[in-house]
Amino acid sequence: MHSCTTKETIKPAIAKDDVIEQKVEALLSKMTLEEKIGQMTQLVIDVLRVPGTWNQEFQMSEAMMDSVFGKYKVGSILNAPGTLAQTPQKWQEIITQIQEKSIKEIGIPCLYGLDQNHGTTYTMGGILFPQPLNLGATFNRSLVLESGSITAYETKAGSVPWTFCPTVDLGRDARWPRMYENYGEDAYLNAEMGREAVLGFQGENPNNIGKEKIAVCIKHYMGYGAPVSGKDRTPAIISKQELREKHFAPFLETIRAGALSIMVNSASINGMPVHADYDLLTVWLKEDLNWDGVIVTDWADINNLYTREKIAANKKEAIKLAINAGIDMAMEPYNWDFCIYLKELVQEGEVKMSRIDDATRRILRMKYRLGLFETPVYNTEDFPLFGSETHALAALKTAEESMVLLKNEGNILPLAEGKKILVTGPNANSMRTLNGGWSYTWQGKGADIYAADYNTILEAFTAKFGSKNVVYEPGVTYNDEGQYWEENTPEIAKAVAAARGVDVIFACIGENSYCETPGNLTDLTLSKNQLELVKELSKTGKPIVLILNGGRPRIINSIEPLAKAVVNIMLPGNLGGDALANLISGEVNFSGKLPFSYPKAVNSLGSYDYKPSEQTGTMEGVYNYNAELSFQWGFGFGLSYTEFEYSNLAVNKSSFTANDELIFTVDVTNKGNRAGKESVLLFSSDLIASLTPDVRRLRAFEKVEVQPGETKTITLKLKGSDLAFVGYDGKWVLEQGDFRIQTGNQVVAINCTETKKWVTPNI
């Protein structure tokens, strides 16, 4: 898979800034080995806490500061104290202390990183946007750009210059507890949204991340979203073709957009832990792309090479493997013995000095690009829009565009005025469930306190439809003190009794918040209590609307037929309750589409880009792409209150070569009597290929607003080479032959007239 091109001939992924490069070299030439290794070390903030003060406001320990910065010269700190969000003022105080000490002891500012994963996860009072899976469902690039930009601003209000996102894993296993942290299952969608996020967070110039911008860390490189067991941090088996063609695609696109750092997948691919994979880290990223950014480990993942992955006998050997594979910075995160062992390894000749210099250069370069030497700390008061109405409105609009209407029998929605409703289910009155994990705290616990000013679904419905029309009886509740899946003794009879006096039942069901490994599950089916609740409610004969609220698609095949309508709100964030009320009332129209395949059965998980043999007979017609599959709802599915008709799909050329631009146009007419937004998705099918082709691949999309009776012509552009795939030999190939292009119910045939191969993508 190694390219034969030499590094020198490849254009740098990020253009070099000569002034920065000179500063980096001047500084590097003065640094000792210990100082360089210190820069490569990242510790968690709690290491700096005054011992024994876990339940108190964070206070810096002078003694620990002396060890961390004075003795070990540590270059980077991460995380919120006790994984609890802090006010921007408190952040400014913490960062000021750290920067003053770091500059005094090392002469180099510290690089502080936080998981600001869906808005300001760890900045109290900031705006929490919908989770990335919701952003995927909007199919609206500008919303992703805007959310990144606002989050950067609000993060910088606390002087934090670096976020560990966007996450562009492909969420290809519905069981995986991190499904909601990326933009869905598709490579192209993750690439497009990832790029917008990078531009939103960092701006256009990666060499000069200004006052209101922050650096990104693209994660988790790569293949993290396809664990064989469905459990977090467990092995993936992925063919080299699929790895390069799909999993790599969003990393490539975000690097092209200037991403300054990348975090590595904690697990292994094909038996090789990614943290020790020289090919994937050094060859694919640094050499093939001539990318000069920073590769950071995930949490304790060098240690995991010996404790969990068993490819090293001890920590020292694990460090040697990881650093030689291309790791630049170790998220240790509690222990500085990394510094001691790495120094020994260099002295023993096991790690070359040139590798240490390369890693240090990358880290210093990032610090210069961030302007940390000139402005290590900002003043909170210079960020007057922090947590503002304007920012909240952006989060509300994003939430509205992210919710997906999956079923609407007899147009029961929008809800007619004056209807009496029962709001029920464990997710009806919870800020925690609207937000999911990475919200104020790591697991999202406590959101009901920290986001008390925002509306739950119940509160938003009560405000919208009037308290005389809204009855609340949850029937099932979560045990908020326990594991995310624990529920209290159900009180279903109470909910059923409450249903008798209403016209419509809104059953708000799903999951409590979780993230990472604590979110693992052994059964994707919705909880027994919640299924029971819906079944019992259905016996009242009252129409049921299911509101699905959770981080992954839980199996609901036994209750879906009992519902007149289904809305998947996933994890819409703090403005989710209001957004849902606006949609249910009909003030706003639905426009979200599923960014993943919703499975119908636990034994039948899959993605939309399957192989023809996995489901023969489904592609006869053009619009029955999920008709016979065991998907409850297919990728890209989502209804509106209006109806869109597609017509006149046309292309500028019916035959093409790799360098041609293909311009498709299609007319979209709003046939209903409400305005609406439609995401026009363009799919390709390679009819015959030398390697079994995928049945369909998303190649382009545009979201457009169309007024009642109006027709808009949408233009979607591709390069001929976009229709290539990675062949059995690991090389990209565009093959001669026929392709079918489809959007809505429209199809057009095009023909490729040349076969062309290439190795690495041209940056």
758 near ligand BGC, rule: CB under 6 A: no
Nearer to ligand BGC, 298 or 448 (CB): 298
177: Cβ contacts below 8 Å, ≥ 6 apart: 231, 232, 514, 515, 516, 517, 518, 519, 520, 521, 551, 552
Nearer to ligand BGC, 503 or 516 (CB): 516
Among 79, 429, 597, 640, binds ligand BGC (CB under 6 A): 79
Q: State the Cα–Cα distance between residues 104 and 121, nearest whole angstrom.
A: 30
298 near ligand BGC, rule: CB under 6 A: yes
- Could you write out the DSSP letters of every residue in 693-721? --S-EEEEEEEEEE-TT-EEEEEEEEEGG
Shortest spacing between CB 452 and ligand BGC, in angstroms: 25
- Could you write out the DSSP letters of every residue in 307-357? HTS-SSSSHHHHHHHHHHHT--BEE--S-THHHHHHHHHHHTTSS-HHHHH
Reduce the DSSP state of residue 49 to 3 states and report it: strand
Q: State the Cα–Cα distance between residues 319 and 329, nearest whole angstrom.
A: 11
301 near ligand BGC, rule: CB under 6 A: no
What separation in angstroms does the CA of 600 have from each of 32, 525, 550?
Answer: 59, 10, 16
- Among positions 677-716, residues that touch ligand BGC (CB under 6 A) are none
164 near ligand BGC, rule: CB under 6 A: yes
Q: How far, rounded to the nearest angstrom, does the alpha carbon of residue 590 sit from its chain's CA centroid?
A: 22
Shortest spacing between CB 263 and ligand BGC, in angstroms: 6
CB 512 within 8 A of CB 428: no
Nearer to ligand BGC, 194 or 744 (CB): 194
Q: 44 is written with which tokens?
A: 């968690």
Nearer to ligand BGC, 217 or 556 (CB): 217
- Name the helix (H) or strand (E) containing 94: helix 88-105
Shortest spacing between CB 523 and ligand BGC, in angstroms: 24
Q: Which of 173, 298, 301, 448 is labelled catalytic?
A: 298
84 near ligand BGC, rule: CB under 6 A: no
Closest to 568 measured CA to CA, from 509, 495, 627, 514:
509
CB 592 within 8 A of CB 138: yes
Total residues contacting ligand BGC by CB under 6 A comes to: 9
219 near ligand BGC, rule: CB under 6 A: yes
Nearer to ligand BGC, 219 or 407 (CB): 219
What separation in angstroms does the CA of 553 have from each of 35, 139, 179, 477, 569?
Answer: 48, 19, 9, 19, 11
438 near ligand BGC, rule: CB under 6 A: no
- For the chain, the maximum distance between any two Cα atoms, rounded to a whole number of angstroms, is 79
Nearer to ligand BGC, 82 or 634 (CB): 82
Among 100, 208, 299, 412, binds ligand BGC (CB under 6 A): 299
115 near ligand BGC, rule: CB under 6 A: yes
CA-based torsion, 666, 672, 677, 681: positive or negative: negative
Nearer to ligand BGC, 83 or 456 (CB): 83
Nearer to ligand BGC, 115 or 448 (CB): 115
What separation in angstroms does the CA of 626 have from each of 190, 562, 696?
Answer: 22, 21, 12
Shortest spacing between CB 368 and ligand BGC, in angstroms: 23
Shortest spacing between CB 516 and ligand BGC, in angstroms: 6
Site mask for ligand BGC (CB under 6 A), range 240-279, x = bound = -----------------------x----------------
Shortest spacing between CB 112 and ligand BGC, in angstroms: 12
Closest to 588 measured CA to CA, from 667, 642, 508, 509:
642
Closest to 268 measured CA to CA, from 306, 220, 303, 234:
234
For 354-403, give the secondary structure using H, E and C: HHHHHHHHHHHHHHHHCCCCCCCCCCHHHCCCCCCHHHHHHHHHHHHHHC
From the CB of residue 310, how many other CB atoms can be counted at a distance below 10 Å?
Answer: 10
Catalytic annotation on 328? no
Compute the residue count for the chain.
763
Closest to 585 measured CA to CA, from 540, 545, 555, 529:
545
Shortest spacing between CB 580 and ligand BGC, in angstroms: 28
511 near ligand BGC, rule: CB under 6 A: no
Q: How far, rounded to the nearest angstrom, does the alpha carbon of residue 665 sit from its chain's CA centroid?
A: 30
Shortest spacing between CB 303 and ligand BGC, in angstroms: 13
Nearer to ligand BGC, 296 or 498 (CB): 296
Shortest spacing between CB 441 and ligand BGC, in angstroms: 12
Nearer to ligand BGC, 519 or 676 (CB): 519
516 near ligand BGC, rule: CB under 6 A: yes
Q: Which residues are catalytic?
A: 298
Positions that interact with ligand BGC (CB under 6 A): 78-79, 115, 164, 219, 263, 298-299, 516
